[in-house]
Each structure stands twice: as C-alpha cells, then as structure tokens.
Amino acid sequence: MELELRGKVVVVTGGSRGIGFACARGFLTEGARVAIVSRHQVNIDRALGALAGGIGVAADLSDAEAAGHMVDRVESALGPIDVLVNCAGAAKRTAPAELLPATWHAAMDAKYFSYIHAIDPVIKRMAARACGVIVNVIGNGGKIASALHIPGGSANAALMLATAGLARAYAASGVRVVAVNPGLTNTERVSEGMKVAARLQGITEAEALQGSLAAIPMGRMAEPEEIANAVVFLASARASYITGVSLSMDGAAAPTVL
C-alpha cells in the first residue's frame, strides 16, 4: 500500500527511544524527511546513529518558548512540517499516599504541556497552509484509571479531549488530529511502573510484570514497532478521513464500545 509519505516533513517528539524511535524509523522507511526531538543531545546522537537518517533537535518541550524555537529550527532545515507526532514525556508512577500538588503539576508539565507546546505553533502553521496531520501517542491510562498513575492518567485524559477538540476546530482548515493509546508496551518505561507496583504489593518486579501480562488477553506486551505502524498509517493519505479519534492498542485488556 502506497502511503504517500515520501518527501513529507515529519517531526517526532520523544523520537530518540521507545515508541518515538520506532515511529521515526517507520517514517524514514516510507521516504519521509524526519526530525527527532529529545531533551538531551546525547540521546539524539545515539538515535541518529541507529536510524541512519534524519536530523535531531534538542529541546525541553515543557518550555513553550523552547518548543517554538524547535519548530522554527526544523522548518528552517527541512521546510514546512507536514506531520507532527507527539511522543515526548511521561509522568512518573506514584502511589496515592505519596501524591503531592507538585506531583500533579509535574505530570501535566511532563505529558500534557509537552504535547500542547509543540502542537500550538505547528497546528496554526498547518491551518494557514490548509494541510497537515498531528498524531498524539497518549496512552490508555487516560481511559482506564490506575491507582499508580492518577496524575499521568489525568494528563492523558486531557490530551484525549484536546485531540478531539482540536480535530473539530481545525477540520475545515484541512488539518487532521488523531491519537493512539498504547497499553503496556515493551519499552524502558515499563520497568518504572513495575518497580512501583512491586513495592506496593510486596512482590518482585518479575511477579508484577507477570501479573500485568496475565491481564492482557493477547498474552504479551505490544512492541514499539506495532504502535509505530498504526501511527504511520494514521499520518498517511490512506487515513484521510480519520480525525478526532483515539485508537486503543492494549491487546484487548480493556475492551470498550465508544
């Protein structure tokens, strides 16, 4: 299937590892011109070495001004952004008794505002050109409440609403906004959640992981490449009438009818 992504300018925030890295590699395979964004230059350098293509921009997207400069730098180097994939930032898992107001603020900065700060300048430029796609990689924690992920889940839920709202607001301007909500995925971030769960339950990390896998009907975590495949498709011309939706990818762990 020809996805018509060759030559498109794609920005992947959080593109130096995990799902973001898999997305960057997927777009490069389709012939897109890719820029990855990460907070640390060392992570960008390592990722670019493995990707064998694309450019990198170091930026802390929790800072709105830094996010704006990132967009300027990418467009100066590659041209107008056709696709923005938001995959940067994740809120730490925290036990309910350990939550503080600062924890909630940190979760919103890490996830919600890191996405919004990138979206705001990009979507307005896309609307001025009457074309563009934004794909937000969010997480099913915004739909299914977890006691260990309340601030992060709240940020995810807010992003799902922002996705739907922006899709409606910009549909007439030729801009699509969609989201993908992964469940448990085989990335470095899995270990963090397992450590918190294991500590609270008084079990080992291996036992915590085994319990999590047992709750997934497919019997395994998603691989980053599987999430990336959906992101690349949603960003393509083959998904031209898909907007305002959040696609769950959790192995049927929480089957719901929307």
Pick the CATH number of 9-249 from 3.40.50.11890, 3.20.20.70, 3.40.50.150, 3.40.50.720: 3.40.50.720
Q: Can you tell me the mean pLDDT for 234-245? A: 98
Q: Can you tell me the mean pLDDT for 177-184? A: 95
Average pLDDT over all residues of the chain: 93
Res 195: pLDDT:
80
Res 257: pLDDT:
65
Q: How many helices (H) and strands (E) does the chain have?
A: 9, 7
Domain spans of the chain, in order of start:
9-249
Q: Can you tell me the mean pLDDT for 155-165? A: 97
Alpha helix positions (H), 188-242: 189-201, 205-214, 224-235
Res 258: pLDDT:
57
How is 120-147 classified by DSSP, letter by letter?
Answer: HHHHHHHHHHT-EEEEEE--GGGTS--T
pLDDT per residue over 67-122, tens digit each?
999 999 999 999 999 999 999 877 787 888 888 999 999 999 999 999 999 999 99
Q: The pTM is what?
A: 0.93
Q: Can you tell me the mean pLDDT for 157-178? A: 98
133, 176 in Cβ contact below 8 A? yes
Handedness of CA 93, 40, 120, 174 (dihedral sign): negative
